[in-house]
Amino acid sequence: MKIAVLGAGAWGTGMALQLAQRHTVLLWSRETDVADAMRQTRYNQRYLPDVRLPDSIQVHGGTAQAADVADCDLVMVACPVAGLRGQLAVLRGLLMPLVWLCKGFEEVQDSAAAGLLPHEVMAQVAPELRAGVLSGPSFAQEVARSQPTALVVASRHEDVRSTVVHAVHNETLRVYSSSDCIGVEVGGAVKNVLAIAAGVLDGLAQQCAAGATLAFVPGLNARAALLTRGLAEMTRFGLALGAEAATFMGLSGMGDLVLTATGDLSRNRKVGLLLAQGLTAQQAVATLGHVAEGVCCARTVLARAAALQVDMPITRCVVNLLDGKINAKEAARLLMGREAKAEFGL
C-alpha cells in the first residue's frame, strides 16, 4: 500500500516508521526547512532524534494538497487539532479512506462558539470524506521502536475501518475496530485533562519524598481515586454527547487514561508535574517545548460540559489551576475533597 502521513511531529513520524516496515510512506512536514533536514540526515531531530528514517519514507515539505496524495491508498492526518480544519479543507474530494490521529477539541476564540471534536470539524469543512479516527494508548517513541501497542480505529464506514486494520495491524501493533467515533474522540481528549490533574498529585508526592513538608500529602491511593473518578467524569460527558458507554472501558478510554496519567513520556502529566513545582501554565508549556493538548482543550471541555449540564469537577479544577485561580496545593485538596455520595448514582 501507499500511505500518506500528514504531519511530522512525534506521533506522525512514529506512525510513519511503523508503516514503512511494510508500505511505501509519504511523510509531510508543514515546515519546509524541517523536511529538508529530514531528507538530508534521515532523522527527525526535534521529535524522534534517535530513530533513523528508512529510505522507504519519502519526506515532503509544506501543506499536502489533495492532488499530492491522490494516488495513495490511505491518508493519515497527524497534525494537532488546531491544524485539522485547514488540512481537511484542502483535502476535500478525496476518494480514499482518511483517518486523523489527533486528540482533543478545537480551541475557539469566540466565547459564543462551541469547540468541536475532530469529526465535527470534518462535518463542517469536508463532510463528503470517508473518514474516522485512529487512537488509543500509544507513546510515539514506543511505536517508532515497534514496542507492543494496541489502538482502535473508529468510523461509521466499514471500508475505512478495514483499510486501516489491513494497513496498520501487525505483530507488534494490534488494531481493534469501533463504530463509535464520538466515544473514541472524547476519551482521547478528556484523558489529557485528567493526566494534568494526575501530574499535579504526583508532583506534590515527589516533593514530599524529597523532604518537603506539606499538610496534604497525596500518594498512590489518591492517584487511583482520581483516575477512577476521572473515568466516570469522562463517561458522563461522552454519553451526553452521544457516545457508547462501553467505549470508555476500552483502549481509547481507560487504556489511554492509564497510560497518559502515569507514563513518564506523557506531555500532559509533565505539565501537571511542573504546575506542582509552582510554574504557571504558560511557563510549564514553554518548558515542555511541545504541544500538550490537555492545556489547549481543558476550557473547551468544561464549556461543552456546562452546556450539556454535565458535572466535571476534576476538569473544572484543572481549568482553575491553568487560569491561575488556585495553586497546585489548593487543587490537590479540591481534587480529593469532594463530598460523600453514592458511587454509581443510587
Query: Is 270 a catalytic site residue?
Result: no
| pTM, full prediction | 0.93
Residue 215 CA to residue 83 CA, distance in Å, equals: 43
pLDDT one-digit tens code per residue, 233-255? 999 999 999 999 999 999 999 99
Rg (CA), the chain: 20
Model confidence at 345, pLDDT cuts 50, 70, 90, reads: low
pLDDT at 180 over 60: yes
Q: Which residue has the cell 473547551?
A: 300
Question: For position 346, what pLDDT does the model report?
Answer: 41
pLDDT at 22 over 50: yes
Which candidate in 191, 270, 329, 341 is catalytic? 191
Contacts of 106 (CB under 8 A, 6+ apart): 81, 82, 84, 85, 115, 116, 117, 118, 120, 121, 300
Question: For position 289, what pLDDT does the model report?
Answer: 80
Contacts of 192 (CB under 8 A, 6+ apart): 103, 104, 260, 268, 292, 293, 294, 297
* Percent of the chain scoring above 70 in pLDDT: 96
Model confidence at 90, pLDDT cuts 50, 70, 90, reads: very high
Q: What is the dihedral of CA 311, 317, 322, 324, to 10 degrees?
A: 120
CA end-to-end span of the chain: 52
* Percent of the chain scoring above 90 in pLDDT: 85
Is residue 154 within 8 Å of 135, Cβ to Cβ?
yes
Question: For position 338, what pLDDT does the model report?
Answer: 64
Average pLDDT, the chain: 93
DSSP string, 89-129: HTTTT--S-EEE---S----S-TTSPP--HHHHHHHH-TT-
Q: What is the mean pLDDT of residues 258-277?
A: 96
Secondary structure in 3-state letters for 196-220 = HHHHHHHHHHHHHHCCCCCCCCCCH
Question: For position 112, what pLDDT does the model report?
Answer: 60
Model confidence at 109, pLDDT cuts 50, 70, 90, reads: low
Phi, psi (rounded to 5 degrees) for 233: -65, -45
Q: What is the mean pLDDT of residues 89-102?
A: 95
Is residue 218 within 8 Å of 334, Cβ to Cβ?
no
Phi, psi (rounded to 5 degrees) for 184: -65, -40
Q: Which residue has the cell 470508555?
A: 248
Model confidence at 217, pLDDT cuts 50, 70, 90, reads: confident
Q: What is the mean pLDDT of residues 319-345?
A: 83
Residue 138 CA to residue 93 CA, distance in Å, equals: 30
Model confidence at 150, pLDDT cuts 50, 70, 90, reads: very high
For the chain, how long is the longest CA-to-CA vector? 62
Lowest mean per-residue pLDDT among 69-73, 188-192, 340-344: 340-344
pLDDT at 113 over 80: no
